[in-house]
Copies of this chain bind each other. A is one copy, B any other.
Amino acid sequence: ALPLAVLAGPCQLESLDHALMIAERMARICDDAGLGYVFKASFDKANRTSLSGRRGVGMEAGLEILAAVRARIGCPVVTDVHLPDQCAPAAEAVDMLQIPAFLCRQTDLLIAAGRTGRAVNVKKGQFLAPWDMPNVAAKIAATGNENILLCERGTSFGYNTLVTDMRALPQMAATGYPVVFDATHSVQQPGGLGGASGGQREFAPVLARAAVAVGVAAVFVETHENPDAAPSDGPNMIPLARMPELIADLAAFDRMAKERPIPRP
């Protein structure tokens, strides 16, 4: 199996300089750890908890930044799409399209993303079981695009709480598609701050290590040089300064996990 890939970046695009700073830093951190790197950021936060949450720079400006990051840093880039119409333009700027969890059942969006030929990372809805994901992947695969990744990002568990069921990782891997573990959204507390989502940043390294030990193709981690000042998802993002230690930790567990298949009882 390939070494772990890391999809990381700020939750939302702020400026070209900011994106380049984070991409450059993360690319070096992942390279040092022998891991692949994909820059991630959103041009639009289309489903903020409340209307007053900041939406982002918009599609046009955002795709320009993403294309520039790709060109200057030389790393692949992923961004999320929310409407079928966004897929084709986004696919010109980025290498991978991401389907948000709430939208993972929207057939037209999945098909539009599949038709671009780009890799498609689908987040499993908080309301779905792992065994519901083959139906989701099949909507994309019907376009002839088999470049699909399935991403675990937590499951509804009571109100304002997510839980990560590690059984989902091998269950989704049984589809044959690579599995991504989203370490920072898995520790979100949806709506937990009233007008915004809370989060438990301190558990992201715990869940990430557990998932990597079980075995995944990639981890997804949002990061920011100052999470508490970030326009979204601050409570669950990892400070950029803490990423070298986290990535090194995951690299170590990834090597051991990939040398050792899970024992079959």
A residues near B, CB below 8 A?
Answer: 46-51, 55, 82-84, 102-103, 105-108, 125-129, 131-132, 135, 138-139, 142, 155-161, 163-167, 169-170, 187, 190-191, 195, 200-207, 209-214, 238-239, 242, 245-246, 249, 252-253, 256, 260, 262-265
Contacts and interface: CB of A to CB of B under 8 A. Distances in A.
A55 B249 CA distance: 46
Given A169-B206, A246-B263, 6 more contacts: A46-B106, A47-B105, A132-B190, A166-B206, A170-B203, A210-B213
A202 B159 CA distance: 19
A168 to B, nearest CB: 10
A207 B166 contact: yes
26 contacts: A46-B106, A46-B108, A47-B106, A50-B138, A51-B138, A51-B139, A51-B142, A102-B103, A102-B125, A127-B190, A131-B159, A135-B191, A155-B163, A156-B156, A157-B158, A158-B159, A159-B161, A164-B165, A167-B200, A167-B203, A167-B206, A167-B207, A201-B265, A202-B264, A206-B262, A242-B264
Given A102-B102, A242-B263, A252-B260, A163 B160 contact: no
Contacts of A238: 265
When A and B form their complex, which 9 residue pairs have the shortest distance between CB atoms, in order from nearest? A158-B158, A213-B213, A129-B159, A47-B105, A210-B210, A156-B156, A132-B191, A50-B135, A126-B127
A178 to B, nearest CB: 17
A242 to B, nearest CB: 5
A41 B211 CA distance: 31
Contacts of A108: 46, 82-83
